[in-house]
Structure 1
């Protein structure tokens, strides 16, 4: 079965080129120039594996569209296309819950690689429940449970937490996290990593035994009490 891609891109030339290239790579692409058409599908015929959203679109921008999609389709994988390299764009996308972003004009091969990496991360896994201090972490449902309340993680948050758990009790280099999870290492991905680390600290705030300590200029030291 082919991977079904939702493509939201209002530029007719770029959209057509992107659609044709992705189809040559054996993806099934449904291309929308009007994002309002996608909103109409959310409660009916929405059968996609991943969405690629341009940020700058008329009537509904990519950020607003992503919020609408994720409200109805929790944890739906999203990749943003942006013509700008401004930090606010990238951080906004990450806060919404995007899995990745790429600047236009993008290299088609790089885009395909990013799509495949996202899909690989988001494939259903066998259910694994991990006891972390006072928390339970269901890796398939992306659910972090605590007597005070539950949190649903994003795909990226799950992958980061699993990576930290893998190296529990050790010093973890920032560069290693970025190279392994983000597969790129620049200012923007470094800032996005800080955003995700801050989120995890907030999620675990109800158990003071759990520590994610920053080591300036080096990385992180984590202490997860596992039982």
Structure 2
């Protein structure tokens, strides 16, 4: 996605948004969308090289961007990430919790170590992010959080059992957080992307030959989505234009779940 200037009447103007898992794929493209839509953006991920490159790209385009390193499965790292947002920008208005791993194989084929790792990142990581983001948003009395699940969190399929279990769990965390924090003025929603052109999709293509093509054939729009399309949907949920939307699961899947 090419750099774009902030759009007129930008829906995220004046807001500070944290993007977790921002070094590639959906996270990187979503960060570009949020910056285009007027937000000041803090990027977070484990690997500095790609993260710094995206921060430099957006800064060169005139956007207000910072970055911080951390592992979402480590509580101290997540606390430090959120503290860095407040130190840099003074507040936190929105968060996009996107960090995640994929895993293929039947449930009985998954090793205990692999199961523990994907749960630590995809489920515990989302919980830790929610906990720390809400720590800042609750005193403010406002905020919007978008977690990233998957179409695999809505329906099952063969060969991705542990991954799909984590994505179902993200939806449960989101719905509970929406109930807990709605009275405090904080909205929490979840995006459920279908197949999206990312490095993770390339891994799926290798692990499950023909699986992606079968998904496309079963998708009414007959195409794979883009990170920008997911980012556009998330930007709407983060903005005041979705001010009465909380606890929803929004598929961004070309109609696959219809």
TM-score by length of 1: 0.43
Relative contact order (C-alpha < 8 Å, sep 6+): which is higher? 2
Structure (1 or 2) with the greater helix fraction? 2
**Greater Rg, structure 1 or structure 2?**
1
Tell me the TM-score normalized by structure 2. 0.39
Considering fraction of residues, name the structure with more strand: 1
